[in-house]
Chain A
Amino acid sequence: DVKVTQSSRYLVKRTGEKVFLECVQDMDHENMFWYRQDPGLGLRLIYFSYDVKMKEKGDIPEGYSVSREKKERFSLILESASTNQTSMYLCASSPIEEPYEQYFGPGTRLTVT
């Protein structure tokens, strides 16, 4: 059974803290993605990675960075958390071949106070 896991389901952090969200997949997928989900806005792509140490900005990369040191692990970093980063964060992975179906983790609901 394919699996994408995220390190936390719920997280509460203070403004200005550095936050790490971890994602691990066991499907040997090349592609990995970080999205944030907000009501009425759907899923918006923050960053994605198509190989180890490779990354590309998505639609809303400001305030975020990522790290992919190993194929199975993709980390999202909030350098200095702000209240407008309170959101649901979803990680996904997909193979490099079509049809590019993405497999999602359970999500991390982050609250920044």
Chain B
Amino acid sequence: AQKVTQAQTEISVVEKEDVTLDCVYETRDTTYYLFWYKQPPSGELVFLIRRNSFDEQNEISGRYSWNFQKSTSSFNFTITASQVVDSAVYFCALSEWTSNTGKLIFGQGTTLQVKP
């Protein structure tokens, strides 16, 4: 069965600290996509990144970076020098490739609070 686990329910940091959000997934598919979404207090999920299973290169976008490791089935997300505006709920998701329906399987979400 496919599954996404975000073991950290809540994280609280002080502004300018670095923080890593963990994501572990399970799938039997050899081809799949992984996603990270951000849900600010306004409620709308905002797409941050996708990674396909054949591309294990880490990615950096400004203060955000992602570490994809197939060997450990993990797709972790790091925010460097966190800011108050980073406070949100973050979701990791896995595409259900074999069904070809575009369905995503979401983790439980990690609530990040960045204090000034």
Using CB atoms and an 8 Å cutoff, list the residues of chain A in contact with chain B.
9, 31, 33, 35, 40-43, 45, 48, 50, 56, 58, 88, 90, 92, 94-96, 98-107, 109
Contact = CB atoms under 8 A, between A and B. Distances in A.
A42 B109 contact: yes
A99 B31 CA distance: 11
Contacts of B35: 101
A22 to B, nearest CB: 16
A100 B95 contact: yes
A9 B8 CA distance: 28
Interface in B65-108: 91, 95, 101-104, 106-108
Contacts of A90: 45
A86 to B, nearest CB: 15
B115 interface: no
Nearest to A102: B104
A106 B50 CA distance: 21
B30 interface: no
B33 A45 contact: no
Nearest to B99: A56
A99 B104 contact: no
A45 B108 contact: no
The 9 A-B pairs of least Cβ separation, nearest first, read A100-B102, A104-B45, A107-B43, A42-B108, A43-B106, A31-B102, A106-B44, A94-B102, A99-B33
A68 to B, nearest CB: 14
A98 B33 contact: yes
Nearest to B44: A106
Contacts of B52: 99
Contacts of B47: 101-103
Given A45-B103, A48-B103, A99-B95, A40 B9 contact: yes
